[in-house]
Each structure stands twice: as C-alpha cells, then as structure tokens.
Amino acid sequence: MKFELDVHTHTIASGHAYSTINEMVAAAEEKGLRLLGITEHAPAMPGSCHEMYFHNLYVVPRLQGGVEVLLGAEVNLLDTEGRLDLRPSTISRLDLCIVGIHVPTFVSGTKTENTDALVKVMSRPDVHIISHPGDGTAELDFEPIVRAAAEHHTLLEINNSSARPERNKPQAISNMLELLRLHKEYDLPVILGSDAHVHFDVARFNEVIPLLEEADFPPELVINTSVEAFKSYLNLKS
Ligand SMILES: [Zn+2]
Ligand SMILES: [Zn+2]
C-alpha cells in the first residue's frame, strides 16, 4: 500500500512532542507523502498551546516544498455532555478538526453515556476525525459509532501509537480489529494516523498494518492512499 497522507501529528507546540513544523514537513517529504496534517493538542491538555495559537495559524504557508500542510487541532472531548475545549469560532479557523478522548481531560460516564457523547460530537459538521476511538481510554460501543461515522462522513482513526507495546493499552488491538471488522461490514473508509510526537514517526504505520492484514481489510477503504479521496470524503477545500 502506498500512503499519500498522515494527518494526525504533533510538534513541540503540543508540549510533550519534540519536533518543529520544519522537521515534520521534511520527514513527510522524505517519506513521499503529499499531505501532512499537524494537529496540536487543544488547551485542556497539560502543557499544550493556548487557544491563541490556533488563531494565528494563517501565517504558516500551506504548501511547503512538495508537501501540502493542513494545520488543525486534536480537540479534547471533556465530558458526556459532548463539551470540547476549543470554541466553535476557533474550530472554524482550522484546516482540520480531530476530536479525541484522553485520560487527563475526559470525565468518563457509563459506556452508553460515553458512546452517546461521541456520536453527538460526530454529528457536528466541523468535526472531521475521531482519534484513537479504539485505545480503551473510555468504554465505547463501536457499532453506533461506526453507524454515526457513515451518516456524518466522519472518519474513525486506526491509531498506530495506541498499538505500540510501550503504551501498554491492552484493549487497543482487539478494539481496532473490531473497528476494522465493522468498517468492512459497512463498506466504510478508515484513516490510519501515526499520531507522531517526533518527526521520525511521521507516516509510521508499522503497528497497524498487521491489523489490516489480520482483518483482511480492503486496501481501497484505507483513505490514506489518496489525497483526493480523503478531501472529497470530508468535503475539505482543495
Ligand atoms: Zn490523542
Ligand atoms: Zn495525537
């Protein structure tokens, strides 16, 4: 499989990541990507950037060398009410909005409450991708989430970082296999995300490629293989 894009990455602005925009773009170019997304953690994540950071992104060129760059955020789902840690007026300035559930910033409810909150967030037209729904941070019921992804053209991520042994996320593998099984059943695209926090990891999908194989997942449903398919699925400007 030839990958053209990786849109879930972080730079030093996220506070616990270690490369600059320049280094991330150079790594993307070296790996043959056409499109790189940089999605810093939103303000509720300890050590990440202020909301102001996201207001000033217009100063950064969106074409650097041969690589198109999308600048966005990985916004935190805060609770079962579906609250996020960036205002809609800030999200509207982003090229790309990923929403994720993270240990330090999510107040969990029951499995049903967590699922309903995520489904509610997915119905927003300004939310494009849900990061690592399979990482086990919150208990979730995947079938309604995959149905919501189909209804609202939201992409669910198969996250390489969640599957790394050092992360010690015991449910991640079985959850991601379940997500792949459901996407295959519903004939829906998934997105792979490296979630790189250092430039060496841009477009690193080594942990999840074996899961695609194990699930006998159709390559044409991996949206990272086409920038055009990715943009048109999310209705992004080209
Ligand atoms: Zn995340
Ligand atoms: Zn991330």
Please give the chain's pLDDT, 238 residues, in tens. Answer: 999 999 999 999 999 999 999 999 999 999 999 999 999 999 999 999 999 999 999 999 999 999 999 999 999 999 999 999 999 999 999 999 999 999 999 999 999 999 999 999 999 999 999 999 999 999 999 999 999 999 999 999 999 999 999 998 889 999 999 999 999 999 999 999 999 999 999 999 999 999 999 999 999 999 999 999 999 999 996 5
- Adjacent-strand bridge partners of 26: none
- pLDDT at site 1: 92
Residues 163 and 173 sit within 8 Å (Cβ to Cβ): yes
Q: What is d(CA 11, CA 223) in angstroms, rounded to the nearest whole number? A: 23
Nearest CA among 172, 219, 177 for reference residue 195: 172
Distance from the CA of 140 to the center of ligand 2, in angstroms? 19
- What's the 168 CA to ligand 1 centre distance in angstroms? 15
What is the set of domains in the chain, with CATH numbers? 5-234 (3.20.20.140)
Write the CB contacts of 208 (distance below 8 Å, at least 6 apart in sequence): 158, 159, 160, 163, 176, 192
CA of 103 to the centre of ligand 1 (A): 9
Alpha carbon of 10 to ligand 1 centroid (Å): 10
The pLDDT, as a whole number, for residue 238 is 56
Cα 202 to ligand 2 centre (Å): 12
First to last CA, the chain: 23
**Cα–Cα separations (whole angstroms), residue 55 to 45, 70, 110, 128, 205:** 18, 14, 35, 19, 31
Q: Are 84 and 77 in contact (CB under 8 A)?
A: yes
How far apart, in whole angstroms, are the C-alpha atoms of residue 97 and residue 83? 14
- Give the Å distance between the CA of 231 and the centre of ligand 1: 21
CA of 147 to the centre of ligand 2 (A): 23
Check residue 5 and report its DSSP letter: E
Q: Which ligand is nearest to the CA of 17?
A: 2
Q: State the ligand closest to the CA atom of 100.
A: 1
- Report the alpha-carbon distance of residue 119 to residue 124 in Å, rounded: 9
Q: How many CB atoms lie within 10 A of CB 203?
A: 22
Cα 221 to middle of ligand 2, angstroms: 22
The pLDDT of residue 170 is 87
Specify the length of the chain in residues.
Answer: 238
Q: What's the CA-to-centroid distance between 137 and ligand 1, angstroms?
A: 10
Q: Ligand 1 centre and the CA of 31: distance in Å?
A: 22
Yes or no: say if 191 and 39 are a contact pair by the CB < 8 Å rule.
no
Give Cα separations from 133 to 40, 47, 50, 128, 149 (angstroms): 18, 23, 25, 13, 12
Residue 73: phi and psi, rounded to 5, are -145, 155
Phi then psi for 41, rounded to 5 degrees? -60, 140
- Output the pLDDT for position 237: 67
Burial (CB count within 10 angstroms: exposed 0-12, middle 13-18, buried 19+), residue 206: exposed
